[in-house]
Amino acid sequence: MAHLLSAYAEGVSIFAAVRPEDAEQPVTLPPAAGWNGQPQPNVVVVPFELLDAAQVTGAILETRPDQIVHLAARSSGADADRDAVTAVNVEGTRNVLDAAALLPTFPRALVVSTGYVYGDTQLDRPAREEDPIGPLWRYGPYTDSKIEMESVARNYRAFAITARPFSHTGPGQPPHFALPGFARQLARMERSLEPPVLRVGNLAARRDILDVRDVVRAYDFLLTAGNPGETYNVATGAPVAIRDAVDRLRALCRVPTEVEIDPARLRPADIACSTGDAFRLRETTDWMPRITLESTLRDTLDYWRSQTE
């Protein structure tokens, strides 16, 4: 959310919906996002429980937003709690869109799905929006929940726009995701807090790897120019082997390192190649990724260096 907030100019009121237990925490941005890390005066924290339809409806009717960016989700493919993932990603989305539909004027609502809904894609033929998605029960609870979430969003095509971002990362992303997890390990190795052995999962998998700041620009463009009822890939079309990304990270590390496979990081239903064609997004908004993979990896490692003591 921090990178998304940094995309908005002063003078715009931003209502940041958070879980009640997080409501007392100040909304701050990591320095790499281009902000000073201080609480933002134009950000109003609105606490509600996403699975409580009455709370969601009350908050949305009170704030009357012109735009909604729905990012509240169980966002990791490593999450195996199917019931919890489905509840948040599917029923939570339904609650938000149900409430938005009650406003006198529909807001523009961006529903964020994932490129993983396509499952395995061809290396030389990135997935397009009209391609079939799924099937269910092959790639785990997270992907299944996003397929079902998109089904919910299609019932609100008068105002809901669906984005399918492919893999993205950057400074501030939690370490239970792959690349920030590797960057954190390397930052700790530089301070001799861990032995210089990088523990990894499946390095043969290929992914579109976008910078989160480029993805946020895409979201911003879609809120302005996207067509309700449409779905848009946010992708590079040029997948990178995770092994290559890891090697680049290691090259940025200040100490020599080795690599070791960690069985706990291997997923039983991993996707071999995930890549998408963003032609529809480019045609609609003129969006193109600007930040190189090298810059993304360097900024991510620098972020974890700043967090490591």
The pLDDT tens digits for 52-106 are 999 999 999 999 999 999 998 887 766 668 999 999 999 999 999 999 999 999 9
Banded pLDDT at 46 (limits 50, 70, 90): confident
What confidence score (pLDDT) does residue 1 get?
47
For residue 104, say if its preceding peptide bond is cis, omega within 30 degrees of 0. Answer: no
Task: Give 157 or 44, the one with higher predicted confidence.
Answer: 157
Q: For 1-34, write each residue's pLDDT tens digit.
A: 454 555 454 556 677 777 776 666 665 555 544 4
What confidence score (pLDDT) does residue 39 get?
56
Distance CA 240, CA 166 (A): 12
What confidence score (pLDDT) does residue 11 get?
53
What confidence score (pLDDT) does residue 155 get?
97
Judged by DSSP in three states, 196 sits in coil
pTM of the complete model: 0.90
For the cut 80, the answer to whether the pLDDT of residue 158 exceeds it is yes
- Sort 54 into a burial class: Cβ within 10 Å, 0-12 / 13-18 / 19+: exposed
Mean pLDDT of the chain: 89
- Of 103-107, 144-148, 160-164, 259-263, give the lowest mean pLDDT range: 259-263
Distance CA 198, CA 89 (A): 32
CB 62 within 8 A of CB 13: no
What confidence score (pLDDT) does residue 24 get?
63
What confidence score (pLDDT) does residue 121 get?
96
Q: In terms of CATH architecture, what is 2-172+209-237+275-290?
A: 3-Layer(aba) Sandwich (3.40)
Count the Cβ atoms, other than its own, within 10 Å of residue 102.
10
Q: For 252-302, write each residue's pLDDT tens digit.
A: 999 999 999 988 887 766 899 999 999 999 999 999 999 999 999 999 999
For the cut 60, the answer to whether the pLDDT of residue 243 exceeds it is yes
What confidence score (pLDDT) does residue 179 get?
96
Banded pLDDT at 38 (limits 50, 70, 90): low
Ordered alpha helix ranges (H), the chain: 2-5, 53-63, 82-86, 92-100, 141-153, 178-190, 212-225, 242-252, 279-285, 293-307
- pLDDT above 70 covers what percent of the chain? 86
CB 173 within 8 A of CB 180: yes
Distance CA 284, CA 163 (A): 13
Distance CA 107, CA 230 (A): 15
Structure tokens at 11: 């003078």
What confidence score (pLDDT) does residue 212 get?
95
What confidence score (pLDDT) does residue 78 get?
64
Please give the C-alpha separations between residue 31 and each of 138, 190, 191, 306, in angstroms, as whole numbers: 39, 21, 21, 10
For the cut 70, the answer to whether the pLDDT of residue 164 exceeds it is yes
